[in-house]
Chain A
Amino acid sequence: NAGVTQTPKFQVLKTGQSMTLQCAQDMNHEYMSWYRQDPGMGLRLIHYSVGAGITDQGEVPNGYNVSRSTTEDFPLRLLSAAPSQTSVYFCASRKGLAGETTTDTQYFGPGTRLTVL
């Protein structure tokens, strides 16, 4: 298994540009999430999904869109990038309740470092 993969690893955008951060997992996990990490603020939840076709907002959803058309993929879209979206973005996944075990937890991708000029 490749686990959770994210592309690209680095990206520089100009203000107003749009782009999609890709996230994929090959573990047949139901739950997927996007977090952003900013200095001194830890990680904050942007959006999450409990299964294909179902998404919901997290703590800081403004400026981001998501969709979940397949179990494997959970892309994060920035419609009009702003300098405040400069951050490191992490995608995470975990099994659904049916796969719950005492060791089940969220697995994080390697992150995407985004800079908006």
Chain B
Amino acid sequence: AQKVTQAQTEISVVEKEDVTLDCVYETRDTTYYLFWYKQPPSGELVFLIRRNSFDEQNEISGRYSWNFQKSTSSFNFTITASQVVDSAVYFCALSEGVTGGGNKLTFGTGTQLKVEL
């Protein structure tokens, strides 16, 4: 069975600090997909990134970057120069199999990020 662990329940930082959100996953499949979603206080789920198991290249999108390491089964998310608008709950999720969009997602329990002035 697949499992996603986000050990950090809550993180508080001061604006402009860098912060890394950890995600560790378990799966027996060789083909799988990893995701990050953001849930701001308004409650909707915002898709941030999808990465398949065959692509270990790190990705950068503006202030966001993701580090995928199969050797440690981790898919960590770093926000550089955090801003108050980054305050949200962040979920890591896993989908097994060849359906890349993730029909059956297993979510972690989420990390509440609070960015203060």
Chain A interface residue count, CB cutoff 8 Å, equals 28
> Beyond A42-B91, A100-B100, is A90–B109 a contact (Cβ under 8 Å)?
no
Question: Among residues 59 to 111 in chain B, which have CB atoms less than 8 Å away from a CB atom of chain A?
Answer: 91, 93, 99-110
The answer to whether B105 and A45 have CB atoms under 8 Å apart is yes
The answer to whether B44 and A108 have CB atoms under 8 Å apart is yes
Interface status of B45 (Cβ within 8 A of chain A): yes
The answer to whether A58 and B101 have CB atoms under 8 Å apart is no
Q: Mark contacts of A11-29 with chain B using CB atoms, 8 A cut-off: 1 yes-contact digit, 0 otherwise.
A: 0000000000000000000
Contact of B104 among A40, A48, A111 (CB under 8 A): A48
Q: What's the Cα separation between A103 and B103 when bound, in Å?
A: 14
| Residues of B close to A97: CB separation below 8 A | 99
The answer to whether B100 and A42 have CB atoms under 8 Å apart is no
Q: What's the Cα separation between A31 and B106 when bound, in Å?
A: 16
The answer to whether B43 and A42 have CB atoms under 8 Å apart is no
Q: What's the Cα separation between A112 and B44 when bound, in Å?
A: 10
Q: Mark contacts of A29-61 with chain B using CB atoms, 8 A cut-off: 1 yes-contact digit, 0 otherwise.
A: 001010100001111110010100000001100
Chain B interface residue count, CB cutoff 8 Å, equals 23
Interface status of A68 (Cβ within 8 A of chain B): no
The answer to whether B102 and A45 have CB atoms under 8 Å apart is no
| Residues of B close to A77: CB separation below 8 A | none
Q: What's the Cα separation between A31 and B91 when bound, in Å?
A: 21
| Residues of A close to B108: CB separation below 8 A | 42
Question: Among residues 37 to 73 in chain B, which have CB atoms less than 8 Å away from a CB atom of chain A?
Answer: 37, 43-45, 47, 50
Residue of A nearest to B49 (CB): A105
> Beyond A88-B43, A105-B50, A108-B44, is A45–B100 a contact (Cβ under 8 Å)?
no
> Beyond A43-B105, A94-B102, A103-B50, is A111–B110 a contact (Cβ under 8 Å)?
no
Q: A33-B104, A105-B35 are in contact. List 14 more A-B contacts (CB 8 A).
A: A31-B99, A40-B109, A43-B93, A43-B105, A45-B105, A48-B103, A58-B104, A90-B45, A95-B101, A100-B101, A105-B101, A106-B102, A108-B44, A108-B45
